[in-house]
Structure 1
Amino acid sequence: MTFLKYLFLRITALLLRGLVRLQGKITSSPDAVNYIPSRDPQRKIKIHVYQPKHEVKGPVPVLINFHGSGYLIHAHGSDDAFCREVSQRTEYTVLDVSYRLSPENPFPAPIHDAEDVVRWVQEQPTLFDASHIALSGFSAGGNIALVIASTSFPKETFRSLLTFYPATEPCLDPATIAAPQAGGQPVPSLMLRIFRACYVQSDIDLRDPRISPGLADPHSIPRNVLVVTAGYDSLADEGERLGRSLQQDPDRHVVCERMDRCNHAWDKMAQKATREWELKCEAYNMAVEMLRL
Protein backbone atom coordinates (compact mmCIF):
# COMPACT_ATOMS: atom_id res chain seq x y z
CA MET A 1 0.00 0.00 0.00
CA THR A 2 1.30 3.43 -0.91
CA PHE A 3 1.70 6.13 1.72
CA LEU A 4 -0.90 8.33 -0.01
CA LYS A 5 -3.50 5.57 0.00
CA TYR A 6 -2.83 4.86 3.67
CA LEU A 7 -3.11 8.57 4.44
CA PHE A 8 -6.47 8.69 2.64
CA LEU A 9 -7.74 5.70 4.63
CA ARG A 10 -6.48 7.18 7.90
CA ILE A 11 -8.23 10.51 7.27
CA THR A 12 -11.42 8.72 6.21
CA ALA A 13 -11.36 6.60 9.36
CA LEU A 14 -10.88 9.66 11.55
CA LEU A 15 -13.85 11.37 9.89
CA LEU A 16 -16.07 8.32 10.35
CA ARG A 17 -15.06 8.00 13.98
CA GLY A 18 -15.87 11.65 14.50
CA LEU A 19 -19.34 11.22 12.98
CA VAL A 20 -20.00 8.24 15.23
CA ARG A 21 -18.96 10.21 18.31
CA LEU A 22 -21.49 12.91 17.41
CA GLN A 23 -24.25 10.33 17.84
CA GLY A 24 -23.42 10.04 21.53
CA LYS A 25 -20.92 8.46 23.86
CA ILE A 26 -21.00 4.69 24.34
CA THR A 27 -21.73 3.87 27.97
CA SER A 28 -21.18 0.49 29.60
CA SER A 29 -21.18 -0.91 33.12
CA PRO A 30 -19.05 -4.06 33.32
CA ASP A 31 -18.29 -5.63 36.67
CA ALA A 32 -14.58 -5.25 36.03
CA VAL A 33 -12.06 -4.04 33.47
CA ASN A 34 -9.01 -6.22 32.94
CA TYR A 35 -5.92 -6.07 30.76
CA ILE A 36 -4.56 -9.39 29.58
CA PRO A 37 -1.27 -10.24 27.84
CA SER A 38 -0.95 -10.20 24.06
CA ARG A 39 1.72 -11.86 21.93
CA ASP A 40 3.36 -8.43 21.79
CA PRO A 41 5.08 -7.96 25.18
CA GLN A 42 4.61 -4.18 24.82
CA ARG A 43 0.81 -4.45 24.67
CA LYS A 44 -2.15 -5.51 26.77
CA ILE A 45 -5.65 -6.34 25.53
CA LYS A 46 -8.49 -4.59 27.31
CA ILE A 47 -11.54 -6.67 28.26
CA HIS A 48 -14.79 -5.85 30.05
CA VAL A 49 -15.83 -8.59 32.47
CA TYR A 50 -19.46 -9.43 33.28
CA GLN A 51 -19.98 -11.88 36.14
CA PRO A 52 -22.92 -14.29 36.50
CA LYS A 53 -25.80 -13.16 38.69
CA HIS A 54 -25.40 -16.18 40.95
CA GLU A 55 -22.04 -17.36 42.21
CA VAL A 56 -20.75 -20.42 40.38
CA LYS A 57 -18.38 -22.73 42.26
CA GLY A 58 -15.26 -23.88 40.52
CA PRO A 59 -14.23 -23.03 36.93
CA VAL A 60 -17.02 -21.16 35.12
CA PRO A 61 -18.27 -21.24 31.52
CA VAL A 62 -17.03 -18.25 29.54
CA LEU A 63 -18.39 -16.34 26.55
CA ILE A 64 -15.86 -14.25 24.62
CA ASN A 65 -17.55 -11.41 22.72
CA PHE A 66 -16.33 -9.19 19.87
CA HIS A 67 -18.15 -5.92 19.21
CA GLY A 68 -19.10 -4.46 15.83
CA SER A 69 -16.78 -1.85 14.35
CA GLY A 70 -16.56 -2.03 10.57
CA TYR A 71 -12.99 -2.95 11.62
CA LEU A 72 -12.31 0.76 12.28
CA ILE A 73 -14.92 2.35 14.61
CA HIS A 74 -14.27 2.56 18.35
CA ALA A 75 -17.33 0.75 19.70
CA HIS A 76 -16.08 -1.31 22.62
CA GLY A 77 -18.88 -1.32 25.19
CA SER A 78 -21.68 -1.12 22.62
CA ASP A 79 -22.65 -4.72 23.45
CA ASP A 80 -23.08 -3.91 27.15
CA ALA A 81 -26.79 -4.86 27.21
CA PHE A 82 -26.13 -8.19 25.50
CA CYS A 83 -23.18 -9.05 27.75
CA ARG A 84 -25.14 -8.15 30.88
CA GLU A 85 -28.18 -10.19 29.84
CA VAL A 86 -26.09 -13.28 29.13
CA SER A 87 -24.28 -13.00 32.45
CA GLN A 88 -27.55 -12.51 34.36
CA ARG A 89 -29.46 -15.34 32.70
CA THR A 90 -26.75 -18.01 32.41
CA GLU A 91 -23.78 -19.27 34.37
CA TYR A 92 -21.41 -17.74 31.82
CA THR A 93 -18.86 -15.07 32.61
CA VAL A 94 -18.70 -12.75 29.61
CA LEU A 95 -15.44 -11.21 28.38
CA ASP A 96 -16.05 -8.33 25.97
CA VAL A 97 -12.86 -7.76 23.98
CA SER A 98 -11.40 -4.47 22.75
CA TYR A 99 -9.42 -5.58 19.71
CA ARG A 100 -7.15 -3.40 17.57
CA LEU A 101 -8.72 -1.41 14.74
CA SER A 102 -7.86 -0.52 11.15
CA PRO A 103 -6.39 1.18 9.23
CA GLU A 104 -3.71 1.62 11.91
CA ASN A 105 -3.81 -2.12 12.69
CA PRO A 106 -5.13 -4.01 9.65
CA PHE A 107 -5.61 -7.76 9.21
CA PRO A 108 -4.46 -9.91 10.92
CA ALA A 109 -4.07 -7.73 14.04
CA PRO A 110 -7.68 -8.13 15.29
CA ILE A 111 -7.51 -11.88 14.67
CA HIS A 112 -4.29 -12.09 16.67
CA ASP A 113 -5.93 -10.23 19.56
CA ALA A 114 -8.88 -12.61 19.48
CA GLU A 115 -6.60 -15.65 19.42
CA ASP A 116 -4.57 -14.27 22.33
CA VAL A 117 -7.70 -13.83 24.45
CA VAL A 118 -8.82 -17.41 23.76
CA ARG A 119 -5.38 -18.78 24.62
CA TRP A 120 -5.31 -16.74 27.82
CA VAL A 121 -8.68 -18.23 28.80
CA GLN A 122 -7.36 -21.72 28.11
CA GLU A 123 -4.40 -20.99 30.40
CA GLN A 124 -6.70 -20.20 33.36
CA PRO A 125 -8.08 -23.67 34.29
CA THR A 126 -8.92 -22.60 37.85
CA LEU A 127 -11.07 -19.75 36.55
CA PHE A 128 -12.67 -21.01 33.33
CA ASP A 129 -14.22 -24.29 32.26
CA ALA A 130 -12.38 -25.26 29.08
CA SER A 131 -15.31 -27.47 27.99
CA HIS A 132 -17.63 -24.46 28.01
CA ILE A 133 -15.89 -21.75 25.99
CA ALA A 134 -18.26 -19.93 23.62
CA LEU A 135 -17.79 -17.11 21.13
CA SER A 136 -20.08 -14.28 20.07
CA GLY A 137 -19.76 -11.33 17.75
CA PHE A 138 -21.69 -8.55 16.08
CA SER A 139 -21.07 -7.47 12.46
CA ALA A 140 -17.27 -7.26 12.03
CA GLY A 141 -17.03 -8.88 15.45
CA GLY A 142 -19.11 -11.73 14.08
CA ASN A 143 -16.56 -12.11 11.30
CA ILE A 144 -13.75 -12.28 13.87
CA ALA A 145 -15.59 -14.87 15.96
CA LEU A 146 -16.24 -16.99 12.86
CA VAL A 147 -12.64 -16.73 11.71
CA ILE A 148 -11.04 -17.87 14.94
CA ALA A 149 -13.65 -20.62 15.39
CA SER A 150 -13.12 -22.02 11.89
CA THR A 151 -9.41 -21.42 11.23
CA SER A 152 -7.48 -20.76 14.46
CA PHE A 153 -8.55 -23.54 16.82
CA PRO A 154 -9.86 -27.12 16.63
CA LYS A 155 -13.63 -27.44 16.29
CA GLU A 156 -13.95 -28.94 19.79
CA THR A 157 -12.46 -25.80 21.39
CA PHE A 158 -15.78 -23.94 21.39
CA ARG A 159 -19.11 -25.17 22.67
CA SER A 160 -21.19 -22.52 20.89
CA LEU A 161 -20.82 -19.76 18.32
CA LEU A 162 -23.26 -16.82 18.33
CA THR A 163 -23.21 -14.32 15.47
CA PHE A 164 -25.38 -11.27 14.84
CA TYR A 165 -25.57 -9.76 11.33
CA PRO A 166 -22.04 -11.07 10.63
CA ALA A 167 -19.81 -10.20 7.68
CA THR A 168 -19.15 -13.69 6.34
CA GLU A 169 -18.00 -12.99 2.77
CA PRO A 170 -16.11 -9.68 2.50
CA CYS A 171 -14.73 -11.05 -0.77
CA LEU A 172 -18.01 -10.11 -2.47
CA ASP A 173 -18.21 -6.89 -4.47
CA PRO A 174 -20.35 -4.54 -2.31
CA ALA A 175 -22.02 -3.24 -5.48
CA THR A 176 -23.45 -6.70 -6.18
CA ILE A 177 -25.11 -7.38 -2.83
CA ALA A 178 -28.44 -6.08 -1.58
CA ALA A 179 -30.71 -6.43 1.42
CA PRO A 180 -33.33 -9.18 1.03
CA GLN A 181 -36.10 -6.77 1.99
CA ALA A 182 -36.70 -3.40 0.36
CA GLY A 183 -36.70 -0.27 2.48
CA GLY A 184 -34.75 0.51 5.59
CA GLN A 185 -31.19 1.77 5.67
CA PRO A 186 -28.74 -0.83 4.36
CA VAL A 187 -25.05 -0.13 4.84
CA PRO A 188 -23.98 1.80 1.69
CA SER A 189 -21.70 -0.10 -0.67
CA LEU A 190 -19.16 2.73 -0.48
CA MET A 191 -18.97 2.28 3.28
CA LEU A 192 -18.42 -1.47 2.88
CA ARG A 193 -15.60 -0.73 0.44
CA ILE A 194 -13.97 1.64 2.92
CA PHE A 195 -14.25 -0.90 5.74
CA ARG A 196 -12.66 -3.59 3.60
CA ALA A 197 -9.89 -1.34 2.27
CA CYS A 198 -8.95 -0.29 5.79
CA TYR A 199 -8.96 -3.86 7.09
CA VAL A 200 -7.25 -5.74 4.23
CA GLN A 201 -4.17 -3.79 3.14
CA SER A 202 -2.06 -6.69 1.89
CA ASP A 203 -2.37 -8.70 -1.31
CA ILE A 204 -4.03 -11.63 0.48
CA ASP A 205 -6.81 -13.35 -1.47
CA LEU A 206 -10.13 -12.01 -0.15
CA ARG A 207 -11.53 -15.52 -0.47
CA ASP A 208 -9.12 -16.71 2.20
CA PRO A 209 -11.27 -18.11 5.07
CA ARG A 210 -9.39 -15.83 7.49
CA ILE A 211 -11.06 -12.94 5.63
CA SER A 212 -14.25 -14.61 4.39
CA PRO A 213 -15.13 -17.29 6.97
CA GLY A 214 -18.31 -18.11 5.08
CA LEU A 215 -15.99 -19.95 2.68
CA ALA A 216 -14.28 -21.97 5.42
CA ASP A 217 -14.69 -25.73 5.69
CA PRO A 218 -18.09 -26.02 7.43
CA HIS A 219 -16.84 -29.08 9.34
CA SER A 220 -14.38 -26.83 11.17
CA ILE A 221 -17.16 -24.71 12.74
CA PRO A 222 -18.52 -25.63 16.22
CA ARG A 223 -21.61 -27.78 16.56
CA ASN A 224 -23.92 -25.21 18.17
CA VAL A 225 -24.37 -22.09 16.03
CA LEU A 226 -26.68 -19.09 16.07
CA VAL A 227 -26.87 -16.76 13.06
CA VAL A 228 -29.12 -13.72 13.41
CA THR A 229 -29.58 -11.50 10.35
CA ALA A 230 -31.61 -8.36 9.58
CA GLY A 231 -34.03 -7.96 6.67
CA TYR A 232 -32.85 -4.48 5.67
CA ASP A 233 -29.17 -5.45 5.87
CA SER A 234 -27.11 -6.09 2.74
CA LEU A 235 -25.03 -8.60 4.73
CA ALA A 236 -28.08 -10.78 5.45
CA ASP A 237 -27.88 -13.09 2.43
CA GLU A 238 -24.29 -14.16 3.09
CA GLY A 239 -25.01 -14.82 6.74
CA GLU A 240 -28.08 -16.87 5.88
CA ARG A 241 -26.12 -18.76 3.23
CA LEU A 242 -23.71 -19.85 5.95
CA GLY A 243 -26.57 -20.78 8.26
CA ARG A 244 -28.26 -22.93 5.62
CA SER A 245 -24.99 -24.66 4.82
CA LEU A 246 -24.45 -25.58 8.46
CA GLN A 247 -28.04 -26.78 8.81
CA GLN A 248 -27.35 -29.51 6.26
CA ASP A 249 -25.44 -31.41 8.96
CA PRO A 250 -28.00 -33.34 11.06
CA ASP A 251 -25.53 -33.64 13.94
CA ARG A 252 -25.49 -29.87 14.44
CA HIS A 253 -27.78 -27.56 16.36
CA VAL A 254 -28.05 -24.49 14.11
CA VAL A 255 -30.52 -21.63 14.46
CA CYS A 256 -30.60 -19.14 11.58
CA GLU A 257 -33.14 -16.39 12.08
CA ARG A 258 -33.88 -13.22 10.10
CA MET A 259 -35.32 -10.24 11.93
CA ASP A 260 -37.77 -8.84 9.40
CA ARG A 261 -37.69 -5.14 8.56
CA CYS A 262 -34.68 -4.43 10.75
CA ASN A 263 -31.55 -2.49 9.86
CA HIS A 264 -27.98 -3.59 10.45
CA ALA A 265 -27.23 -3.18 14.18
CA TRP A 266 -30.90 -2.42 14.86
CA ASP A 267 -30.55 -3.78 18.40
CA LYS A 268 -28.15 -0.99 19.36
CA MET A 269 -30.77 1.67 18.63
CA ALA A 270 -33.97 -0.13 19.61
CA GLN A 271 -36.28 1.75 21.96
CA LYS A 272 -38.50 0.12 24.56
CA ALA A 273 -42.11 -0.66 23.58
CA THR A 274 -41.23 -0.88 19.86
CA ARG A 275 -41.20 -3.80 17.44
CA GLU A 276 -37.43 -3.45 17.17
CA TRP A 277 -37.10 -3.81 20.93
CA GLU A 278 -39.19 -6.98 20.90
CA LEU A 279 -36.99 -8.44 18.17
CA LYS A 280 -33.87 -7.47 20.10
CA CYS A 281 -35.22 -9.35 23.12
CA GLU A 282 -36.02 -12.33 20.87
CA ALA A 283 -32.51 -12.37 19.39
CA TYR A 284 -30.81 -12.16 22.78
CA ASN A 285 -33.10 -14.84 24.14
CA MET A 286 -32.04 -17.18 21.33
CA ALA A 287 -28.43 -16.58 22.35
CA VAL A 288 -29.20 -17.44 25.95
CA GLU A 289 -31.00 -20.61 24.91
CA MET A 290 -28.06 -21.66 22.74
CA LEU A 291 -25.66 -21.21 25.65
CA ARG A 292 -27.83 -23.40 27.85
CA LEU A 293 -27.31 -26.42 25.58
Structure 2
Amino acid sequence: MSLFSSITLRIAALFLRVGVHIYRPPVTEELQVPSPVLLNFHGSGFVVAAHGSDDEFCRQMSQKTGYIVLDVEYRLAPENPFPAALNDTEDVINWVLGQPTEFDVSKVAISGFSAGGNLALALSSCIFPPETFSSVIAFYPTVEVFVDPGAVAAPDPNGQPFPTFVLQLFATCYMLGGHDPRDPRISLAYADFDRFPRRVLLVTAAYDSLAVEAESLAARLRENSGRIVISERMERCNHGWDKMAKEGTFEWEAKERAYKLAVDMLKST
Protein backbone atom coordinates (compact mmCIF):
# COMPACT_ATOMS: atom_id res chain seq x y z
CA MET A 1 0.00 0.00 0.00
CA SER A 2 1.35 3.48 -0.87
CA LEU A 3 2.02 6.11 1.78
CA PHE A 4 -0.80 8.20 0.30
CA SER A 5 -3.32 5.34 0.61
CA SER A 6 -2.15 4.47 4.12
CA ILE A 7 -2.59 8.03 5.37
CA THR A 8 -5.99 8.33 3.68
CA LEU A 9 -7.34 5.17 5.26
CA ARG A 10 -6.06 5.99 8.72
CA ILE A 11 -7.51 9.48 8.68
CA ALA A 12 -10.81 8.11 7.39
CA ALA A 13 -10.91 5.62 10.26
CA LEU A 14 -9.95 8.07 13.00
CA PHE A 15 -11.65 11.29 11.98
CA LEU A 16 -15.10 10.49 10.67
CA ARG A 17 -16.36 13.91 11.75
CA VAL A 18 -13.49 15.83 10.11
CA GLY A 19 -12.64 15.96 6.42
CA VAL A 20 -8.97 16.04 5.41
CA HIS A 21 -7.68 16.69 1.88
CA ILE A 22 -4.20 15.26 1.30
CA TYR A 23 -1.66 16.80 -1.07
CA ARG A 24 1.42 14.72 -1.73
CA PRO A 25 4.61 16.23 -3.23
CA PRO A 26 5.98 14.93 -6.53
CA VAL A 27 8.06 11.77 -6.30
CA THR A 28 11.70 12.78 -6.75
CA GLU A 29 15.07 11.56 -5.57
CA GLU A 30 15.00 14.30 -2.93
CA LEU A 31 11.62 13.24 -1.51
CA GLN A 32 12.02 12.71 2.23
CA VAL A 33 10.60 9.75 4.12
CA PRO A 34 9.30 10.34 6.74
CA SER A 35 7.96 13.51 5.17
CA PRO A 36 7.75 17.02 6.57
CA VAL A 37 4.10 17.98 6.91
CA LEU A 38 2.03 21.15 6.72
CA LEU A 39 -1.44 21.23 8.28
CA ASN A 40 -3.66 23.93 6.81
CA PHE A 41 -6.93 25.32 8.15
CA HIS A 42 -9.39 27.12 5.88
CA GLY A 43 -11.16 30.41 6.49
CA SER A 44 -14.77 30.46 7.61
CA GLY A 45 -15.47 33.19 10.13
CA PHE A 46 -15.90 30.00 12.19
CA VAL A 47 -19.33 29.79 10.54
CA VAL A 48 -19.02 29.38 6.73
CA ALA A 49 -18.33 25.96 5.18
CA ALA A 50 -15.26 26.61 3.02
CA HIS A 51 -13.14 23.48 3.26
CA GLY A 52 -11.26 23.14 -0.03
CA SER A 53 -11.07 26.87 -0.74
CA ASP A 54 -7.30 26.77 -0.18
CA ASP A 55 -6.75 24.15 -2.87
CA GLU A 56 -4.33 26.25 -4.94
CA PHE A 57 -2.26 27.18 -1.90
CA CYS A 58 -2.07 23.56 -0.74
CA ARG A 59 -1.05 22.34 -4.19
CA GLN A 60 1.69 24.93 -4.46
CA MET A 61 3.05 24.12 -1.01
CA SER A 62 3.20 20.38 -1.71
CA GLN A 63 4.71 20.80 -5.19
CA LYS A 64 7.31 23.41 -4.27
CA THR A 65 8.43 22.45 -0.76
CA GLY A 66 8.42 18.65 -0.51
CA TYR A 67 5.89 18.80 2.32
CA ILE A 68 2.83 16.59 2.50
CA VAL A 69 -0.06 18.99 3.06
CA LEU A 70 -3.13 18.06 5.06
CA ASP A 71 -5.97 20.53 4.48
CA VAL A 72 -8.13 20.06 7.56
CA GLU A 73 -11.84 20.66 8.00
CA TYR A 74 -13.31 21.53 11.40
CA ARG A 75 -16.75 21.85 12.93
CA LEU A 76 -18.50 25.19 12.55
CA ALA A 77 -20.54 27.50 14.77
CA PRO A 78 -23.18 28.18 15.85
CA GLU A 79 -24.01 24.47 15.98
CA ASN A 80 -20.49 23.80 17.24
CA PRO A 81 -19.15 26.93 18.95
CA PHE A 82 -15.75 27.43 20.59
CA PRO A 83 -13.79 25.29 21.33
CA ALA A 84 -15.08 22.68 18.84
CA ALA A 85 -12.96 23.91 15.89
CA LEU A 86 -9.89 24.08 18.11
CA ASN A 87 -10.54 20.57 19.43
CA ASP A 88 -10.88 19.13 15.92
CA THR A 89 -7.66 20.67 14.65
CA GLU A 90 -5.85 19.65 17.84
CA ASP A 91 -6.97 16.05 17.32
CA VAL A 92 -5.56 15.91 13.80
CA ILE A 93 -2.25 17.41 14.90
CA ASN A 94 -1.97 14.88 17.72
CA TRP A 95 -2.60 12.12 15.20
CA VAL A 96 0.20 13.44 12.96
CA LEU A 97 2.61 13.70 15.90
CA GLY A 98 1.86 10.06 16.70
CA GLN A 99 2.98 8.88 13.23
CA PRO A 100 6.79 9.40 13.28
CA THR A 101 7.39 6.73 10.64
CA GLU A 102 5.27 8.63 8.11
CA PHE A 103 5.83 12.26 9.16
CA ASP A 104 9.00 14.04 10.19
CA VAL A 105 7.77 15.29 13.56
CA SER A 106 10.67 17.77 13.72
CA LYS A 107 9.22 19.49 10.65
CA VAL A 108 5.54 19.98 11.41
CA ALA A 109 4.27 23.36 10.21
CA ILE A 110 0.79 24.83 10.41
CA SER A 111 -0.97 27.45 8.31
CA GLY A 112 -4.37 29.02 8.02
CA PHE A 113 -6.48 31.68 6.39
CA SER A 114 -8.68 34.13 8.31
CA ALA A 115 -10.40 32.05 11.03
CA GLY A 116 -8.06 29.22 10.08
CA GLY A 117 -5.15 31.57 10.69
CA ASN A 118 -6.55 32.23 14.15
CA LEU A 119 -6.64 28.49 14.79
CA ALA A 120 -3.06 28.03 13.59
CA LEU A 121 -1.83 30.82 15.85
CA ALA A 122 -3.85 29.58 18.84
CA LEU A 123 -2.70 26.00 18.44
CA SER A 124 0.94 27.03 18.23
CA SER A 125 0.85 29.43 21.18
CA CYS A 126 -1.73 28.03 23.61
CA ILE A 127 -2.37 24.34 22.98
CA PHE A 128 0.92 22.65 22.12
CA PRO A 129 4.29 22.97 23.84
CA PRO A 130 6.84 25.43 22.45
CA GLU A 131 8.97 24.01 19.63
CA THR A 132 6.20 21.62 18.52
CA PHE A 133 5.93 23.45 15.20
CA SER A 134 8.77 24.44 12.92
CA SER A 135 6.77 27.43 11.66
CA VAL A 136 3.32 29.00 11.65
CA ILE A 137 1.87 30.80 8.62
CA ALA A 138 -1.26 32.94 8.88
CA PHE A 139 -3.00 34.87 6.11
CA TYR A 140 -5.23 37.76 7.23
CA PRO A 141 -6.01 36.07 10.57
CA THR A 142 -8.46 37.16 13.23
CA VAL A 143 -6.34 38.19 16.20
CA GLU A 144 -8.32 40.44 18.54
CA VAL A 145 -11.38 41.56 16.60
CA PHE A 146 -13.90 39.64 18.73
CA VAL A 147 -13.07 41.77 21.78
CA ASP A 148 -14.67 44.79 20.10
CA PRO A 149 -15.81 44.18 16.49
CA GLY A 150 -16.92 47.77 16.11
CA ALA A 151 -13.50 49.25 16.88
CA VAL A 152 -11.49 47.91 13.93
CA ALA A 153 -10.75 49.76 10.70
CA ALA A 154 -8.82 48.92 7.55
CA PRO A 155 -5.47 50.71 7.00
CA ASP A 156 -6.75 51.77 3.58
CA PRO A 157 -10.45 52.72 3.56
CA ASN A 158 -10.87 52.41 -0.21
CA GLY A 159 -11.64 48.70 -0.30
CA GLN A 160 -14.40 46.44 0.98
CA PRO A 161 -13.79 45.81 4.69
CA PHE A 162 -16.06 43.60 6.76
CA PRO A 163 -19.24 45.39 7.91
CA THR A 164 -19.34 45.60 11.69
CA PHE A 165 -22.55 43.56 11.89
CA VAL A 166 -20.84 40.64 10.09
CA LEU A 167 -17.95 40.62 12.55
CA GLN A 168 -20.42 40.82 15.43
CA LEU A 169 -22.38 37.89 13.99
CA PHE A 170 -19.24 35.76 13.68
CA ALA A 171 -18.22 36.65 17.24
CA THR A 172 -21.66 35.82 18.64
CA CYS A 173 -21.80 32.47 16.86
CA TYR A 174 -18.28 31.42 17.80
CA MET A 175 -18.60 32.41 21.48
CA LEU A 176 -22.15 31.14 21.88
CA GLY A 177 -21.27 29.51 25.19
CA GLY A 178 -20.46 32.85 26.75
CA HIS A 179 -16.67 32.59 26.53
CA ASP A 180 -14.51 35.59 27.32
CA PRO A 181 -13.26 37.09 24.03
CA ARG A 182 -9.97 37.83 25.84
CA ASP A 183 -9.31 34.11 26.20
CA PRO A 184 -5.89 33.77 24.49
CA ARG A 185 -7.21 30.82 22.48
CA ILE A 186 -9.66 33.27 20.87
CA SER A 187 -7.72 36.54 20.90
CA LEU A 188 -4.01 36.01 20.25
CA ALA A 189 -3.09 39.44 21.59
CA TYR A 190 -3.48 37.87 25.07
CA ALA A 191 -1.34 34.80 24.37
CA ASP A 192 2.08 34.10 25.89
CA PHE A 193 4.46 35.46 23.26
CA ASP A 194 7.29 33.18 24.40
CA ARG A 195 5.27 30.16 23.26
CA PHE A 196 4.96 31.02 19.57
CA PRO A 197 7.12 29.10 17.06
CA ARG A 198 10.52 30.49 16.12
CA ARG A 199 9.37 31.16 12.55
CA VAL A 200 6.22 33.18 11.97
CA LEU A 201 4.75 34.52 8.73
CA LEU A 202 1.81 36.94 8.83
CA VAL A 203 0.27 38.21 5.59
CA THR A 204 -2.28 41.02 5.75
CA ALA A 205 -4.33 43.05 3.25
CA ALA A 206 -4.56 46.85 3.18
CA TYR A 207 -8.33 46.93 2.61
CA ASP A 208 -8.96 44.45 5.45
CA SER A 209 -10.24 45.57 8.83
CA LEU A 210 -8.30 42.71 10.43
CA ALA A 211 -4.91 43.91 9.17
CA VAL A 212 -3.81 46.22 11.97
CA GLU A 213 -4.26 43.70 14.77
CA ALA A 214 -2.25 41.05 12.89
CA GLU A 215 0.51 43.53 12.17
CA SER A 216 0.56 44.56 15.83
CA LEU A 217 0.96 40.90 16.76
CA ALA A 218 3.93 40.64 14.39
CA ALA A 219 5.53 43.73 15.93
CA ARG A 220 5.19 42.32 19.45
CA LEU A 221 6.60 38.94 18.39
CA ARG A 222 9.65 40.66 16.94
CA GLU A 223 10.45 42.00 20.38
CA ASN A 224 11.33 38.45 21.45
CA SER A 225 14.93 37.78 20.39
CA GLY A 226 15.78 34.73 18.35
CA ARG A 227 12.49 34.64 16.45
CA ILE A 228 12.13 35.09 12.70
CA VAL A 229 8.96 37.10 12.08
CA ILE A 230 7.96 38.10 8.56
CA SER A 231 4.97 40.39 8.13
CA GLU A 232 3.88 41.77 4.78
CA ARG A 233 0.86 43.85 3.89
CA MET A 234 -0.60 43.42 0.40
CA GLU A 235 -1.65 46.84 -0.83
CA ARG A 236 -4.96 47.32 -2.72
CA CYS A 237 -6.16 43.92 -1.56
CA ASN A 238 -9.29 42.91 0.33
CA HIS A 239 -9.69 40.17 2.89
CA GLY A 240 -9.49 36.85 1.01
CA TRP A 241 -8.23 38.52 -2.16
CA ASP A 242 -6.15 35.50 -3.16
CA LYS A 243 -9.23 33.31 -3.61
CA MET A 244 -10.62 35.51 -6.40
CA ALA A 245 -7.43 36.82 -8.00
CA LYS A 246 -7.32 36.69 -11.80
CA GLU A 247 -4.09 36.18 -13.70
CA GLY A 248 -2.58 39.44 -14.91
CA THR A 249 -4.02 41.59 -12.11
CA PHE A 250 -2.23 43.15 -9.15
CA GLU A 251 -4.21 40.80 -6.88
CA TRP A 252 -2.68 37.87 -8.75
CA GLU A 253 0.80 39.30 -8.31
CA ALA A 254 0.12 39.82 -4.61
CA LYS A 255 -1.07 36.23 -4.27
CA GLU A 256 2.04 34.91 -6.02
CA ARG A 257 4.25 37.00 -3.73
CA ALA A 258 2.38 35.91 -0.60
CA TYR A 259 2.48 32.22 -1.49
CA LYS A 260 6.19 32.49 -2.28
CA LEU A 261 6.78 33.88 1.21
CA ALA A 262 5.13 30.72 2.54
CA VAL A 263 7.23 28.49 0.30
CA ASP A 264 10.41 30.22 1.39
CA MET A 265 9.54 29.86 5.06
CA LEU A 266 8.82 26.14 4.73
CA LYS A 267 11.99 25.50 2.75
CA SER A 268 14.07 27.37 5.32
CA THR A 269 13.26 24.91 8.09
Q: How far apart are 1:175 and its partner, in Å? A: 1.4
The residue number in structure 1 matching 2:66 is 91
Q: Distance in 1 between matches of 2:92 and 2:182?
A: 25
What TM-score does the superposition give when structure 1 sets the normalisation length? 0.86
Of 105, 119, 137, which aligns to 1:162? Answer: 137
Q: Distance in 2 between matches of 1:190 and 1:49?
A: 35
Q: How far apart are 1:170 and its partner, in Å? A: 3.2
1:31-180 correspondence runs (5 A): 34-35=11-12, 37-38=14-15, 43-55=16-28, 56-180=31-155
Of 218, 223, 227, which aligns to 1:248? Answer: 223
Q: How far apart are 1:236 and its partner, in Å? A: 0.3
| Cα shift readout 1:124-162 (whole Å, capped 9, x = no counterpart) | 111100000000000000011111111110111000000
Letter in 1 for 2:33: G
Alpha-carbon RMSD across the aligned residues, in angstroms, is 1.6
Q: Per the alignment, in what secondary structure is the counterpart of residue 194 of structure 1? A: helix
What TM-score does the superposition give when structure 2 sets the normalisation length? 0.93
Cα pair 1:68 1:140 within 8 Å, conserved: yes
Q: Which runs of 5+ in 1 are unaligned?
A: 1-29
Q: Distance in 2 between matches of 1:136 and 1:218?
A: 18
Are 2:223 and 1:269 aligned? no
Letter in 2 for 1:187: F
Q: How far apart are 1:173 and its partner, in Å? A: 1.4
Q: Distance in 2 between matches of 1:65 and 1:230?
A: 19
Of 204, 209, 219, which aligns to 1:234? Answer: 209
For this pair of structures, how many residues does the alignment match? Answer: 260
Q: Which runs of 5+ in 2 are unaligned?
A: none
| Cα shift readout 1:190-217 (whole Å, capped 9, x = no counterpart) | 0000011111112221101011122201
Q: Distance in 1 between matches of 2:146 and 2:49?
A: 23
Identity of aligned residues (%): 53
Cα pair 1:180 1:234 within 8 Å, conserved: yes
Letter in 2 for 1:123: G
Q: Distance in 1 between matches of 2:26 and 2:103?
A: 16
Q: Distance in 2 between matches of 1:44 and 1:203?
A: 25
1:19-30 correspondence runs (5 A): none
